[in-house]
Structure 1
């Protein structure tokens, strides 16, 4: 499998890089291409990239990433329409949306206005309140597979009805605080994005195998799945306990 990790120097602040490392350990002969800020994304002009990855970043780093990718917005949109596989975690999701609007009393000095125009690939408006961070443990569902995750965000999304979520929230916070609050993430063709941050694929070995299969590969037989599954089952049992406070 060929994976391109976009901007690893700034897009992995919660250990998100472990998501590509666990795929590398799971699938034989996996190649990871690290695309830095001053590089041209490889997947835009190369059809050999099986999966594009980008992870969590600071709000200032978001501005840098948006500006680096803006000139490729049409090409990225075309690649997504053609079925290019993406896996995007944390607030990297926002980069692909329409705009970020500051709704609280604080905004970044660099912006000079309460709005950031993003790549506009998905017609979703992101509301950001940097005075109030909402964090939670999370349990969700993907086609009958239960997942556990961690969330910590200043932002929520105003969905439009024709955008499908990647996951459905069972416990914890979804991606939106209005309407159908079970919606979490974005799923469009091969594009997968979630506000869950950090090493979500390590935390969810069953979904890891499913994702790898969707991309067209199989997990190696020597992969120590039992160890990961034991930890996953214990964590799922803990997170499903109704006495456990999910949001903090």
Structure 2
């Protein structure tokens, strides 16, 4: 397998470095390519099996977006060919129609999915998330300066939240799930926080991939987190 981590040195905010460490372990017997922000992406001229992008600053997000714009059709081709993508945090924003930055104004996105993003520095939005995807309960966290809004007929929702907001404070619908493209504004390490989903996700990629050595501990912590999130003892910092 060939795995590419985009903008690895800057798309590592919050717990995203945990994802990179996870992939170094899981794909230790495969070709793992870490592309920097200034390099031409490996996927441009080569076949890849999996592309990952995490959260990054608004400045680096803007730079990466302009770096990827010339390769829009290649990205579309890979998505339609069912290459696996896993995109977290504001990395997802660049795949929409446009981003309305507070300081830079409206900037064209990759236009691969029908949603747009509005970025404002106030208020900062913080939530814990309890959601469901194909029968699996999901736990996650959000901390962001942006909200995204689906087009009127958008159908490719990743999951729905039972606690916390979705793409914006007026919806419980979160992220993008299309073919093998998984995208969420939830921050990393999303996979490590959801070991049952992680196991299914990795099995879909390649049934021979190893699980983390502490997988049982991750599952134990996941069930404890589910219990705590459902208990009502916590309140959301940002309400809809």
TM-score by length of 2: 0.91
Q: Is contact 2:199–2:211 with CA below 8 Å preserved after alignment?
A: no
C-alpha displacement at 1:43, in angstroms?
Answer: 2.0
Kindly indicate whether the alpha-carbon contact (under 8 Å) linking 2:175 and 2:185 is maintained by their aligned counterparts in 1: yes
Match of 2:197 in 1: 207
Instruction: Please provide the CA RMSD for this pair.
Output: 1.8
SS of 2:231's equivalent in the other structure is: coil
Number of residue pairs aligned between Structure 1 and Structure 2:
237
Map Cα deviations across residues 85-136 of structure 1 (whole Å, 9 max, x no partner).
100000000011110124xxxx22xx2xx21111111121112222211101
Q: Who is 1:120 aligned against? A: 111
Choose the corresponding residue for 1:233, options 200, 223, 230: 223
Task: List per-residue Cα deviations over 1:69-89 (Å, max 9, x = no partner).
Answer: 111111111111111110000
| Alignment correspondent of 2:80 | 81
Task: Report whether the alignment pairs 1:186 with 2:176.
Answer: yes
Partners of 2:34 and 2:23 in 1: CA distance:
15
More helix by percentage: 2
My pick for the range that moved more, 37-46 or 72-81, is: 37-46
Cα distance, 1:143 vs structure 2: 0.6
- CA-to-aligned-CA distance 1:171-192 (integer Å, 9 cap, x gap): 11111333xx121110111111
Which blocks of at least 5 consecutive residues in structure 1 are unaligned? none
- Within 2, Cα distance between the matches of 1:229 and 1:162? 33
Is the contact between residue 209 and residue 219 of structure 1 (CA under 8 Å) also seen in structure 2? no
1:1-248 matches, within 5 Å, as 1-26=1-26, 29-47=29-47, 49-102=48-101, 107-108=102-103, 111=104, 114-160=105-151, 161-178=153-170, 181-220=171-210, 223-248=213-238
C-alpha spacing 1:240/1:219, structure 2 compared with 1 (3 Å): farther
With the length of structure 1 as denominator, give the TM-score of the two structures: 0.89
Q: Structure 1 residue 28: deviation in Å? A: 5.7
The question of whether the paired residues in 1 share the 8 Å contact of 2:141 and 2:187 is answered with: yes
Alpha-carbon offset, residue 219 of structure 1: 4.3
